[in-house]
Structure 1
Amino acid sequence: MSHALFINDVASTETAERTFVEVAEVWVPEGDRLVWSSGNYGALEAFQSASEKQSFAKGEGLPGKAWSETRPVVLKGFDGSYFLRTDAARAAGLTSAVAVPIFAGAKLKAVLVVLCADDEVRTGAIEVWSEENGLLMLDDGYYGAAKQFEWVSKHTHFPRGQGLPGGVWAASAPMLMRDLGAGYRFIRAESAGQAGLTTGLGLPIAVPGGKTFVMTLLSARGTPIARRFELWKARGAGPDGAKDALLTDGICQRDGPLWDDEKEKTVDAWQGPIGQVLGSGIPLVKHDTAAPSAGYPAMVALPLYRDTAVSHVVAWYY
């Protein structure tokens, strides 16, 4: 049974040229350093070239900091910071980034980094919530032009089971929410509606030591984080990993709701991009205009772990 929530089933038909996230990239450990694995840079070829040549020691740069601190890290400005590609990022118009470490138990599998560009139009949210004294509090977040929503978020907390972050915490599973501005289940609905936020994806981020982190990606109609979201639940876990994954929920601007209780949709390990992530346990960023995934040129597929096994694969397309 899906843990995702839908407020309604009406798919948006709007499209947008701009997206909230400009760059997505994956870094994987090789020896004592993180090296480039995959990424989508759009037209930012110079930044891509600089990134593919880069590597990070533990504690070095943004990916290395997420590794050493074993937690998601939000960096809202590069100048004067520990970010190592500041000049290339400035030339590309990039202004902020979020790094998410992916751990299988105590072992680092990868670090996902997303980078954004500030302007007066781009609206959305990438939030990191952490548990303090039995409540989820905002650890940090990036909101683009959604300043009022940012203020509300800083003054909001969630008990287990309440709102999108609290629901993810209680279920220990990813969740989707739709129509954030009108949904009674989304605690910040009024300010979300004013900011144009429509779709929310919540992810439990497992880290060594058991501290609770939940990451939320809140997508706006005008500058969406993605145009399609999918949640896959791993099944048949064994010594060689999960056998397959079941699509438990999904929404798409073009196709509407993606799940069908009467007709299961599954993917085998190593079958296509989702199966590759399921089999390898490594995030994947794919960009291919000649062979688009689900009709979209770019996608991010992220494994979520429970202890040392992949429990879910979450994908978003844009």
Structure 2
Amino acid sequence: MTSAQDLVPKTFIRVIEYWVPSEESGVLEFGGGSFGTATRFEAASRNLCFGRGEGLPGQAWEAGHPIVLKEFEGSYFRRAVPAKAEGLTCGIALPIFKGQQLSAVVVIFCGDDAEHAGAIELWANDPAESKDMDLVDGYYGTTGDTFEFISRATSFRRGNGLPGMAWDKQTPVFLPDLGKASGFLRADGAIKVGINRGFATPCSTIDGTNYVMAFLSALATPIARRVEIWEPDVTGTQLLRSFGFSEAEGMLGESEIVAASEEASNALGRAFATGVPAVAAPMIAIPVAPEGNITAVMALYF
């Protein structure tokens, strides 16, 4: 029997992996991930390691902030051949700092084709120079030049637009219908190219700058099958789901409280306590840590 979940089309995010620093060797080692059907890419990744500045994870480690890589071939990316074989077209690396220490580097890979639309955007604000958040770089795939042009000409104040909302809240923001979302300032341009979902999360840095990563996707290629945002209670020992949306079920209702500790039996609690992503297939839990302070855990299901 086919379930409702089985009817959800393939997602814009195809692979998420994470790399953890080794105190002994001083490199990033493979920590785990969610690879779906990209088995060849997973096999090519498991035995790798990256020093500072090496490959996409090492570049983000060295920079201390997120990095978007729009072209794999001819770049410093070390797995271009298996990535192309799996239909992966772009990637973004997100360092996660807990306090001043790097706890992990998350790398998210996406894919699209002629029938699907999606975009990755990286927005940044340097408070010493401006009150605005501007586009650093983006991958716009098959959305065309018009929406990219609009995005590059747009700036956001704190609290305004999807990037500004995530910057202000310091937690992820998900908009399931951009056409009806008053907080999305580029709705007309997005609708014209088929984009209808938006997801933005503040990113981890330790130098006082503010970064926000945004995913925009079309109905045919949703960002993920299910997106959840979990936030700590006042004690910081438990997590509550503050938002949940499933492509198969729509908005999700209230959920159980989960414990947050390094010994927690659930991936969400471990990710919050340690600052390192955790996998409980088909879900990966990723800590959100702007300025080195973990404010939430985003759970993405594939």
Question: TM-score if structure 2 supplies the norm length?
Answer: 0.88
Give the structure 2 partner of residue 174 of structure 1.
172
Over 6 Å off, 4+ runs: none
Contact 2:96 2:292 in 1 (8 A): no
Return the alpha-carbon distance in structure 1 between the equivalents of residues 291 and 69 of structure 2.
27
SS at match of 2:295: strand
Give the structure 2 partner of residue 302 of structure 1.
286
Residue correspondence of structure 1 range 1-318 to structure 2 within 5 A: 15-31=7-23, 32-132=26-126, 133-147=130-144, 148-236=146-234, 242-260=236-254, 265-269=256-260, 270-287=264-281, 298-305=282-289, 307-318=291-302
In the TM superposition, residue 166 of structure 1 has moved relative to its aligned partner by 0.9
Contact 1:38 1:286 in 2 (8 A): no
Question: TM-score if structure 1 supplies the norm length?
Answer: 0.84
85-94 or 227-236, larger mean C-alpha shift: 85-94
1:203-253, Cα deviation, whole Å (9 max, x unpaired): 11120111010111223210111122111112355xxxx411111112222
SS at match of 2:40: helix
TM-aligned CA distance change 1:60 to 1:236, over 3 Å = same
Return the alpha-carbon distance in structure 1 between the equivalents of residues 193 and 267 of structure 2.
33
TM-aligned CA distance change 1:56 to 1:16, over 3 Å = same
TM-aligned CA distance change 1:14 to 1:131, over 3 Å = farther
SS at match of 2:106: strand
Contact 2:96 2:275 in 1 (8 A): no
In the TM superposition, residue 113 of structure 1 has moved relative to its aligned partner by 0.7
12-21 or 131-140, larger mean C-alpha shift: 12-21
Return the alpha-carbon distance in structure 2 between the equivalents of residues 42 and 14 of structure 1.
14
57-66 or 172-181, larger mean C-alpha shift: 172-181
In the TM superposition, residue 156 of structure 1 has moved relative to its aligned partner by 1.2
Contact 1:26 1:285 in 2 (8 A): no
How many matched pairs? 290
Return the alpha-carbon distance in structure 2 between the equivalents of residues 135 and 14 of structure 1.
42
- 1:41 aligned partner, one-letter code: F
Return the alpha-carbon distance in structure 2 between the equivalents of residues 111 and 203 of structure 1.
15
Contact 2:205 2:291 in 1 (8 A): no
In the TM superposition, residue 285 of structure 1 has moved relative to its aligned partner by 4.1
Contact 1:219 1:226 in 2 (8 A): no
In the TM superposition, residue 168 of structure 1 has moved relative to its aligned partner by 1.6
TM-aligned CA distance change 1:234 to 1:110, over 3 Å = same
In the TM superposition, residue 307 of structure 1 has moved relative to its aligned partner by 4.7
- 1:302 aligned partner, one-letter code: I
**Gaps spanning 5+ residues in structure 1: where?**
1-11, 288-297
In the TM superposition, residue 300 of structure 1 has moved relative to its aligned partner by 2.6
Return the alpha-carbon distance in structure 1 between the equivalents of residues 173 and 164 of structure 2.
10
In the TM superposition, residue 110 of structure 1 has moved relative to its aligned partner by 0.7
Contact 1:234 1:310 in 2 (8 A): no
